[in-house]
């Protein structure tokens, strides 16, 4: 296998790893946004911020 092919394959593998990391980060952001919305909802319903945060994060 020519050396250029080896470098190209390595580069493609690195790109795939980064794309997988991006997907994971996007999913984590989505989960965080959902939890934040739940906390905001509970605060709007009259709970203290501390109580709302504890409630949302203990649900897991």
pLDDT tens-digit profile of 1-60? 788 999 999 999 999 999 999 999 999 999 999 999 999 999 999 999 999 999 999 975
47 contacts: CB under 8 Å, gap ≥ 6:
55
Residue 25 CA to its chain's centroid (Å): 4
Please give the pLDDT value at position 42: 96
Please give the pLDDT value at position 2: 85
Q: Name the pTM for this structure.
A: 0.72
CA distance 55 to 38: 9
């Amino acid at each position: 296998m020519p050396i250029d092919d080896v470098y190209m394959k390595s580069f493609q593998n690195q790109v795939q790893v980064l794309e997988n990391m991006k997907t994971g980060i996007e999913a984590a952001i989505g989960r965080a946004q959902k939890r934040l919305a739940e906390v905001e909802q509970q605060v709007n319903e009259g709970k203290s911020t501390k109580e709302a945060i504890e409630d949302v994060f203990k649900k897991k």
